[in-house]
Amino acid sequence: MLALLLIYSCQTKKPVNYYVSSQAGDDTYSGTSPAHAFRTLEAVNRIVLKPGDSILLAGGEAFKGTLVIDSADCGTAEGMIVITSSGGAGAVIDAGDSAAIKIKDTRYIHVSGLTLKGSGRKDGNVTSGLIISRSANIKADHIEVSGFQKAGVHVKGCDRITLTNIRAFENGACGILASDEETTTDIYIADCVAENNPGDPTNLTNHSGNGILLGHVRRGMVEYCMATNNGWDMPWTGNGPVGIWAYYSDSVIIQHCISHHNKTNKVAADGGGFDFDGGMTNSVMQYNLSYNNEGAGYGLFQYWSAPTWANNIIRYNISLNDGSKNSHAGIHVWSAEGNKDDMYNGYIYNNIVLNENGHGVRYETDIRDMYFYNNIFIAGGTQLDGPYKKSRYENNVYWSAGKKHFSVGEYSEFNKWVSATGQEMKDGKIVGKFADPGVIMPSAGDLMPADPRRLKELEAFRLLDGSVCLSAGRYIENNGNQDFWGNPLPTGMNSPDTGAHQKSK
- Name beta bridge partners: 320: 291, 354
Contact between 116 and 144 (Cβ < 8 Å): yes
- Name beta bridge partners: 227: 194, 259
Closest among 277, 273, 206 to 243, alpha carbons compared:
273
Contact between 460 and 467 (Cβ < 8 Å): no
Helix (H) or strand (E) holding 41: helix 41-45
C-alpha 66/C-alpha 226 separation (Å) is: 28
Domain boundaries in the chain?
78-457
- Provide the 8-state DSSP code for 226: E
C-alpha 413/C-alpha 391 separation (Å) is: 20
Q: Which fold has domain 78-457?
A: Pectate Lyase C-like (2.160.20)
Tens of pLDDT, residue by residue, the chain (505 residues): 343 344 444 555 799 999 999 999 999 999 999 999 999 999 999 999 999 999 999 999 999 999 999 999 999 999 999 999 998 889 999 999 999 999 999 999 999 999 999 999 999 999 999 999 999 999 999 999 999 999 999 999 999 999 999 999 999 999 999 999 899 999 999 999 999 999 999 999 999 999 999 999 999 999 999 999 999 999 999 999 999 999 999 999 999 999 999 999 999 999 999 999 999 999 999 999 999 999 999 999 999 999 999 999 999 999 999 999 999 999 999 999 888 999 999 999 999 999 998 999 999 999 999 999 999 999 999 999 999 999 999 999 999 998 778 999 999 999 999 999 999 999 999 999 999 999 999 987 778 999 999 999 999 999 999 999 999 999 999 999 999 999 999 998 899 999 999 999 8
Q: What is the pTM of this model?
A: 0.96
SS3 sequence of 406-452: CCECCECCHHHHHHHHCCCEECCEECCEECCCCECCCCCCCCCCCCH
